[in-house]
Amino acid sequence: MTFFGAPVYFLAVALFALGIFGFLTRRNAIVVLMSVELMLNAANLTFLAAARGTAHVHEASAYAIFIILVAAAEAAVGLALVLALFRIKQSTDLDVASDLKG
Amino acid sequence: MSDDLLRFAPIALPIAGAVLGMLLEALLRKPKVAMWLTVASLAGSIVSVFGGATGLAGYGSELYTLDAAGGILTAGASAFALLALFLSVNYLKPQDDEFPGEIPILLALVPAGIGIIAGARHAMMIFLGIELLSVPLYALVALRRANAAAVEGAVKYFLLGAFAAGFITFGMSLLFASEHSLDLDALRAAAGRSPVAAAGTALFLAGLLFKLSAAPFHFWTPDAYEGAATPVTALMASTTKIGAVAGLLKITPLLPASAWPALAAIALLSIAAGNFGALLQDRVKRILAYSSVAHAGTILLALAAGLSAADPALAADLHSAASRASVYYLIAYGASAFGAFGIIAILERGGDRFRTIGDFRGLSRRQPAAAWLLTFFLLSLGGIPPTGGFWAKYFVFATAVQAGQLWIAVAGIILSVVGVAYYLRIVATCFMASEDAELGAPPQGKVPLPALLATLAAGVGVLVLGFAPAELLGLIGR
Amino acid sequence: MSLLPLIPLFPLVGAAACAILHARTLAARRRDAGAAQNERVVGAIATLAIVASFAVSVAGFFIIQHEPERRVAWIVSNWIPTGGQTIDFGFVLDPLSSVMCLVVSGVGALIHMYATGYMRGDKGYARFFTYLNLFVAAMLILVLADSLPILFIGWEGVGLCSYLLIGFWHENMKYAEAGQKAFVVNRIGDFGFLLAMFGAATWCVDAAGKGSFQFAAINESVLAGHVEPWQVTVIGLLLFVGACGKSAQLPLYVWLPDAMAGPTPVSALIHAATMVTAGVYLVIRMHPIFDASVLASSVVACVGAATALFAATMGLVARDIKKVLAYSTISQLGFLFLGAGCGAYDASFYHLVTHAFFKALLFLGAGAVILAMHHEQDLFKMGGLKRALPLEYRTMFVGAAALAGIPLMSGFFSKDEILGGVLAGRPVFGNEQINLVLYVVGAATALMTAFYTFRLIYLAFEGESRSNEHPHANPASMTIPLAALALLTIAAAALGLPSVFGEFKPLEHWLNPVLELGGESGNAAKAHGLSHSAQWLLLGASAAIAMIGYSLARATYGGGLAKSRARAEAMPGIYKTLVDRWYVDELYHAVFTKTLRLAGVVAGLFDAYVVDGAVNGVAASAKRAAAAARGLADGKLQSYSLWFGAGAVALVAAVLLLI
Amino acid sequence: MNDWILPLLVGIPALGALAVALAPAKRDGLFSLALLFCAAEAALAIFTFTKFDGTNPNEQFSFSRPWFALPTGAGEAVPVAFHLGIDGLSLLLVALSGLLAPVILLSAKGHIERREREFLVWSLVMIAGMQGVFLSRDLLLFYFFWEISLIPLYFIIGIWGGPRRVYATVKFFLYTLAGSVVMLIALLYLAYNFGTVAIQELSTKDIPVRAQLGCFLAFALAFAIKVPMVPFHTWLPDAHVEAPTAGSIVLAGVLLKMGTYGFLRLGVGMFPAAAVQCGPWIAGIGAAGIIYGSLLAYGQSDMKKLIACSSVAHMGTIVVGMFALNAAGLRGGILQMINHGLSTGLLFLLVGVLYERRHVREIAEFGGLAQVIPAFAVVLTVATFSSIGLPGLNGFPGEFLCLKGAFDASPLLGAAAAVGTVLGAVYMLSMLRRVAFGPITRGENQKLIDLNGREWASAIILLIPMVWIGLQPSLFIKPTEPAVDLLISQIEKGRRSLALENGASLKIANAGAAETGKSGGRR
């Protein structure tokens, strides 16, 4: 079944991989948050792509909305935390946050 | 009609309490109201679980139904949240200018999230439960905004948590892509058929393992535990694992039975990483954090065993044995960990002195009661009878032996002996300091009553579990 | 016959009484240092206990006359239930043990009386008599036992008392070391005895296949041939190892010379009359084993002969009066084993009895001399005591004459019987010539014995006094036993005149039931029987040997010390080695004590570094792993997420692989 | 039927611990309260010994309450019961533990100056744990008490011990724990594969030989560490040297016996075929242990370490006796367990007496004590001779039977084990000589005071049974005989099933190819 062969899944997996790569390599907190958003959107894409042309399209869109909603909540709290970190450390570079170790 | 209300009560009450608490607190500016509201709602949640909220059919039951084990987990989480609330009542006041009002609201949401996961019959419900559990915790960890460690811990916890969320969602999407449904029963029926579904489950699993703080996903735990205020750490230690295991109990069956070695490997890796991590630690909270990683590994041993049966008849038995063992373990471990952090919270009384093992030198002469109680909790964490921790360890390894994994059980239990070493180090520092050793200054101020009650409650829980494991076993079994 | 347990019971009660008195004295002394000891009461209790026991033995001696096989037993059954062969606490009074009882309690009583005088003024007076009574009790248990384990109880009991008594003056570390040496060497012997006991119990089975510890059963089983030859030999040899330990034969004799550290009555009682003869008693009691195994009995004979010769040589040059007597005891015991080894059990038992009398006499005499000379024991510092101590001189002369084997003395007849037994006895290792060689060795030993005995007499009593001490007279309580023993020594001759003077051998007839167990093989010497002419020849030879020894001693030491010194220097090499006791002590010390101490240190090091090292190594490697684990958590979010990603990828890969 | 005795045997010290923990009294009040409980415990123990029916081989006074059930899936579950029972094998050990209770207290009064309350609580918990181990007839309960009894000694050594106490106590705790967790796995294996954890049932079930071997080795590891057998013994000298006197008495007196008792009840009792298979090896290691322990003891300069090493040798004798697997050896092993408890307990008591006065344990520090403190010297001499097995004292019957058992099993083994008697005499007597005899070398020794009333009391409590066993061994051996004969029948069963097993494998081997093939099961 060529179903899985469809190019859209390659895009989704690429997005997901890009998100992971961004999360691992970037040091700026904001960019890291953005790469998480990328990963979440990769999931959305897969949901919608999978449900295209089937009876489950409403179900898939509901899940996508859920994920977007959760992403928003996370972003809110995340940015608040990054702000708090910035106020203390005057930098959004995540290497600054490495006092706790061992 | 009343059935529907009763079925959702365990999760509805805390959420309602939280929302109402926020409104009242905004309007009336009196934090005490929010606190009592939360206490009431959490108590209501516990009562409703035992009042028959489990196993009810009816509206929405295909999305959310609380079974006996799920009920125990929700009630346990609510109880630990309640105790954490008592623990933190006047913990923060002295030197922080924060509104204590936030604490009860956030505390109420955590058990709600766990309740959702415990009753979830749908993958998305699990994901929502995890988010509802995690986001308040990120905030709670960073409660003391001025404190660099707290914020750093929170940021790390948050970012890795978000990372895990990414994996979970992408995993779910793969599941949906291959099975066109996220209903857990349907997914379980299709377990092991398509590689995409298996990959999806694996990704979902990775997220849950992060939550469980199993190795190699555990690196956030020490920093988060150390950064957070002690009552919050107590909450995290006792509840995050409940949520993770609730999720794992529903997701692992989705894996093909032949995949159990992967879980077993992670389990042994966690026990080793946790125990060896803690062996040379000097800061007590990091020791208990690494010990929680080891305990996560032990629970995983049971789950791996639960998964390992090929033929369906034995599979059902093993899975019920695994869930029984892990639920018992969560409650016993939760109570012990909560108790240990409770003692530290009482000793610290908001100050910052009882951080390293050195601060505990000769504690048995300054605060004998605290020393003896701490020893009791540590022995339970070490799995030494007559504490609840012993039976928890016993049931987990019983499941592993029942599944025929003798050598894994032996490896696991030998590694757990390494674990006992660092608990003994703390006990030794408290009791066996030489006469002339100069002792840390005694904590000033009187012992806060609610915190004391919370810790004693945890102690009674561990003692009861120690001498009479049948009661809880019965409850879970039914 | 419930009288039997009384024999050992009296001394036990005596020992307990003395112990209580000693404890009271100690308590009194703690209050005020000078508290007087009730020496008189203690002495009386102790001596009476032994006399009572002697009386019961005499009564027993007459009672068993009328018993069918002259045998009376008393048993407490199932003393130690072993699940196999039962061990009953049983005593038996038969001809052999009754004579031994008489000798032990008789000589014991005399020595106790002597000791009341000898030990006067010693601050451990009551303690001394506690141990002495305990010793006699243990010896009586040993003699009366009817099975090997009960004999073993007496055996180790006497070992304990000899340990306590040798180290009696424990303030002096040398004496304490001597006591320990005695016990350890005895223990080495007991090791052999223990294994022999187990061997006998398992191998010597009766017709029904059931083993037993009883002498009667074991002997019967051996005679009935239920036991393979090699097993009999092994049991025999192991028994002999035990006997060597107790009766100070080669190579386990080293403890006896040092045992002279104990008070002289102890040397007389334990190291002359009773304990050291226990080994011979054992061999005689288990003689069917030695009859059945040629190898075992031959070893006994040869070791006996070798010890006799070897000890005699050392006796020639010893300077300490008690050491001379100690070497002579070892030598005479060698004689006993020589006789027993050749099958002349009644001869060696006869010599055992006579030796008990005259050796006890000599020791007590030596004690009197030492006491008179204010604890001077070196012969070269004595001399001319004949005038000062007339009674001691005469009694010791009688003892010396008996020991040397001067004709018509009891020692002469008993030693001659043994030498006769050797010649006519069972061929050692199966060929006659060896018997001849052993006879020659025996004769040489007899010669040396005569020489050193009279050397002692002349050095101590003849010539002018070489010390500025002026000897004082000894109390009556010491001289009476001397006289009594002298009479006994003389009378003992009557116990076993050679058959050439007519068949008057009361001791031999008396022992027949015990020694006739094996029928013909029981008493080999009697069966062959030397022709009259051979016996006369033998008697003449023994007499000649004794007289030569006497005159040689008189010649060398008669004229005072100076001349004898010159002769000794004439052969420096031999003299030196003899004085240094063939360097045996140094050899033992180097071989045993040093290696054992070294092994202890090596074991300690091995234990600390290897075995314990392994345990600590495990802990250290755990710590190293812990350090590595800590290193991973470097606090950087990137590395955490790296681990997270790697973990996720690995998990997915694993699941996919394992489907 | 009087099934109240056994729960009380465990209950009295436990209640005592609770009472002492909560009692408001001060130092002496606490001691007398604790002593009261210990005296009751001792009385009950002696009462149990007298009322024990010596002819009945199986357990008596059994007390059993269901505790909980371990669900094993498919509906049924493994019943776990709080099941106490006493029989020939555990009778003497229960009596000894009861008897030692007052001794521990009396000796502790002398040298425990600080935190008495905690010490008394831990000692009483210790006694309860010990009795629990000897009385439990359910494997899980056995394990429960087995690990509980570790904690009190951990604290006793840790808090009141010598300079290196923390190292010693952690080493003791972890070493024993590592062994016992492996036992837990075997225990679980039995629970799931044979559906029961009751020792009685498991002994009657005929477990396949291969499974028996696996479980036996797992149990054997835990017990070998506890006994301790030679390669696993390095924790004992450290624990003894650092432990306070009372701790040493209870450690040497009873704790080591849990290992040998475990070997007997769980090793030989439940896995006879494996016991027969491994018997010669374990007996061999035991014999090597005797010699190695003796050499170790000979090289020691610290009096307490010397006695600790001597315990390694003595326990070796017990193991040799037991694993001779015959009537004499088993009887000897059981009797020697309490003999070692009594004589080594007394020796440690006496070392404690010296330590309380001179605060030093080096043998060189003493010398000529017989002149200064004669009473002490007499008791030390009696204890020394009892420990090297002098007839008339308790050491002889036990050691005699062990060696006889070993000899019956194989003369070579008997000879090797008997060497221990000679070596024992060497190092014990040299210690006695250097301590009690010879001139007084140190000035401080002049002013030593002799045994006081308390020390005499605890010494006499030990001396009476020591002499009694020496004079009347049958009184103590007879009650154990039926249980031993039952064990022998187990061993025979094991031998038969082993022969069957080897026989079967032999037939296969023969059927496969014509080859020499070793004969059937080794004896």
User: What are the Cα distances from residue C453, in Å, to B423, C247, C449, D130?
Assistant: 79, 21, 6, 66
A27 touches chain C (CB under 8 A): yes
For residues D388 and D454, the answer to whether their CB atoms sit within 8 Å is no
Residue C635 has its nearest CB partner, among A24, A25, A101, at A101
Q: Closest Cα of chain A to B346: distance in Å?
A: 23
Q: Closest Cα of chain B to D469: distance in Å?
A: 37
Backbone angles phi, psi at C651, to 5 degrees: -60, -45
Radius of gyration (C-alpha) of chain D in whole angstroms = 23
Q: Closest Cα of chain A to C628: distance in Å?
A: 10
Encode pLDDT of B217-244 as tens digits: 999 999 999 999 899 999 999 999 999 9
d(CA C397, CA C406): 11
d(CA B236, CA B221): 9
Encode pLDDT of C304-354 as tens digits: 999 999 999 888 888 888 999 999 999 999 999 999 998 888 888 889 999
Residues of chain D with C-beta less than 8 angstroms from the C-beta of B470: 67-69
Q: Which of C264, C552, C559 is nearest to C383 (CA)?
A: C559
Q: Closest Cα of chain C to A98: distance in Å?
A: 4
Say if the Cβ atoms of C607 and D481 lie within 8 Å: no
**Residue to test with chain B: of C643, C649, C655, most B Cβ within 10 A:** C655
C40, with CB counted inside 10 A (0-12, 13-18, 19+), is exposed
pLDDT of D111 reads 82
d(CA C145, CA C218): 14
For residues C360 and C525, the answer to whether their CB atoms sit within 8 Å is no
Cβ-count burial B419-441 (b if 16+ within 10 Å, e if not): bbbbbbbbbbbbbbbeeeeeebe
Radius of gyration (C-alpha) of chain B in whole angstroms = 21
Encode pLDDT of D318-367 as tens digits: 999 999 999 999 999 999 999 999 999 999 999 999 999 999 999 999 98
Say if the Cβ atoms of A102 and C630 lie within 8 Å: yes
User: What are the Cα distances from residue D369, in Å, to C131, C262, C590, D366?
Assistant: 19, 20, 30, 7
Residue A36 has its nearest CB partner, among B154, B162, B283, at B162
Give the bridge partners for D86, in sequence order: D60
pLDDT of D109 reads 87
Helix ranges, D23-54 (H):
27-51
- The three-state DSSP-derived secondary structure of chain A is CHHHHCHHHHHHHHHHHHHHHHHHHCCEHHHHHHHHHHHHHHHHHHHHHHHCCCCCHHHHHHHHHHHHHHHHHHHHHHHHHHHHHHHHHCCCEHHHCCCCCC
DSSP for D93-149, please give it.
HHHHHHHHHHHHHHHHHHH--S-HHHHHHHHHHHHHHHHHHHHB-BHHHHHHHHHHT
User: What are the Cα distances from residue C230, in Å, to C203, C236, C290, D408?
Assistant: 11, 10, 12, 17
Residue type at D23 in one-letter notation: A
**Interface predicted TM-score of the whole assembly (ipTM), two decimals:** 0.89
Q: Scanning the structure block, which residue is given the tokens 């309260």?
A: D33
Encode pLDDT of D353-382 as tens digits: 999 999 999 999 998 899 889 999 999 999
Q: What is the DSSP letter of C498?
A: -
Encode pLDDT of B13-48 as tens digits: 999 999 998 888 888 877 778 888 889 999 998 888
C524 pLDDT tier (thresholds 50, 70, 90): very low
Q: Taking CA atoms, what residue in C is nearest to B222?
A: C633
C522 pLDDT tier (thresholds 50, 70, 90): very low
Domain range annotation of chain D: 5-512
C540 pLDDT tier (thresholds 50, 70, 90): confident
Q: Scanning the structure block, which residue is given the tokens 């019987």?
A: C417
d(CA D31, CA D34): 5
Chains A+C touching (3+ CB pairs under 8 Å): yes
pLDDT of D517 reads 41
Q: Scanning the structure block, which residue is given the tokens 């992967």?
A: B262
Q: Which of B390, B220, B395 is nearest to B290 (CA)?
A: B220
Which tokens hold the place of C64? 């068993």
For residues C434 and C479, the answer to whether their CB atoms sit within 8 Å is no
Distance of CA B69 to the CA centre of its chain: 15
B355 pLDDT tier (thresholds 50, 70, 90): confident
Encode pLDDT of D429-443 as tens digits: 999 999 999 899 888
Q: Which of C44, C45, C64, C47 is nearest to C3 (CA)?
A: C64
* Other Cβ atoms closer than 10 A to B57: 9
pTM of the model: 0.91
User: What are the Cα distances from residue D21, in Å, to B369, D14, D17, D18, D30?
Assistant: 12, 11, 6, 5, 9
d(CA C261, CA D436): 18
Greatest mean pLDDT among B7-11, B436-440, C104-108, C557-561 lies in C104-108
List CB contacts of D517: < 8 A, sequence separation 6 or more: D506, D509, D510
What sign has the CA pseudo-torsion B353, B356, B360, B361?
A: negative
Given a cut of 80, whether residue B273 has pLDDT beyond it is yes
For residues B131 and B113, the answer to whether their CB atoms sit within 8 Å is yes
Given a cut of 70, whether residue B98 has pLDDT beyond it is no
Which tokens hold the place of C518? 């094996």
Q: Taking CA atoms, what residue in A is nearest to C626?
A: A102
Residue B398 has its nearest CB partner, among D70, D150, D169, at D70
**Residue to test with chain D: of B414, B432, B475, most D Cβ within 10 A:** B432
Encode pLDDT of C192-201 as tens digits: 999 999 999 8
Given a cut of 90, whether residue D259 has pLDDT beyond it is yes
List CB contacts of B239: < 8 A, sequence separation 6 or more: B77, B80, B81, B110, B111, B114, B133, B334
B85 vs B474: which has the higher pLDDT: B85
Residues of chain C with C-beta less than 8 angstroms from the C-beta of B303: none
d(CA D340, CA B24): 75
Q: Which of D155, D314, D172, D310 is nearest to D244 (CA)?
A: D155
Q: What percent of chain C has pLDDT over 90?
A: 37
User: Can you list the domains of chain A with their CATH numbers?
Assistant: 2-90 (1.10.287.3510)
Say if the Cβ atoms of C637 and A94 lie within 8 Å: yes
D518 pLDDT tier (thresholds 50, 70, 90): very low
Residue type at B233 in one-letter notation: T
For residues C76 and D473, the answer to whether their CB atoms sit within 8 Å is no
Which tokens hold the place of D403? 């060696």
A58 touches chain B (CB under 8 A): no
Say if the Cβ atoms of A67 and B169 lie within 8 Å: yes
The helix-helix angle for D303-322 and D272-298 (nearest 10°) equals 150
Q: Which of C367, C286, C276 is nearest to C327 (CA)?
A: C276
* Other Cβ atoms closer than 10 A to C384: 16
* Other Cβ atoms closer than 10 A to D225: 24
**Which chains are adjacent to chain B, needing at least 3 Cβ pairs under 8 Å?**
A, C, D
d(CA D45, CA D67): 25
Encode pLDDT of B303-332 as tens digits: 999 888 777 777 888 888 888 899 999 999
Specify the range with the lowest mean pLDDT, choosing from B386-395, C127-136, D128-137, D377-386: B386-395
Specify the range with the lowest mean pLDDT, choosing from B179-183, B470-474, D206-210: B470-474
Given a cut of 60, whether residue D512 has pLDDT beyond it is no
Averaged pLDDT for residues C162-176 = 91
Residue D174 has its nearest CB partner, among B324, B421, B470, at B421
Question: Do strands C87-93 and C72-80 pair parallel, antiparallel, or not at all (unpaired)?
Answer: antiparallel
Say if the Cβ atoms of A98 and C635 lie within 8 Å: yes
C205 pLDDT tier (thresholds 50, 70, 90): confident
Q: Which of C309, C325, C404, C379 is nearest to C564 (CA)?
A: C379
Give the bridge partners for B283, in sequence order: B356
Q: Closest Cα of chain C to B418: distance in Å?
A: 8
Q: What percent of chain C has pLDDT over 70?
A: 93
Residue A102 has its nearest CB partner, among C633, C636, C638, at C633
Backbone angles phi, psi at C376, to 5 degrees: -95, 125
Q: Taking CA atoms, what residue in D is nearest to B469?
A: D68
d(CA D174, CA D161): 17
Q: Closest Cα of chain A to B117: distance in Å?
A: 16
Say if the Cβ atoms of C658 and B266 lie within 8 Å: no
C208 vs C44: which has the higher pLDDT: C44
pLDDT of C455 reads 87
Question: Do strands D77-86 and D60-71 pair parallel, antiparallel, or not at all (unpaired)?
Answer: antiparallel
Helix (H, G, I), strand (E, B) or coil at B309: coil
Q: Please count the residues of chain A.
A: 102
Helix ranges, B403-448 (H):
406-431
To the nearest whole number, what is the mean pLDDT of chain B?
87
d(CA C405, CA C392): 20
Which tokens hold the place of D408? 């019956």
Q: Taking CA atoms, what residue in B is nearest to D145?
A: B385
Given a cut of 90, whether residue C135 has pLDDT beyond it is yes
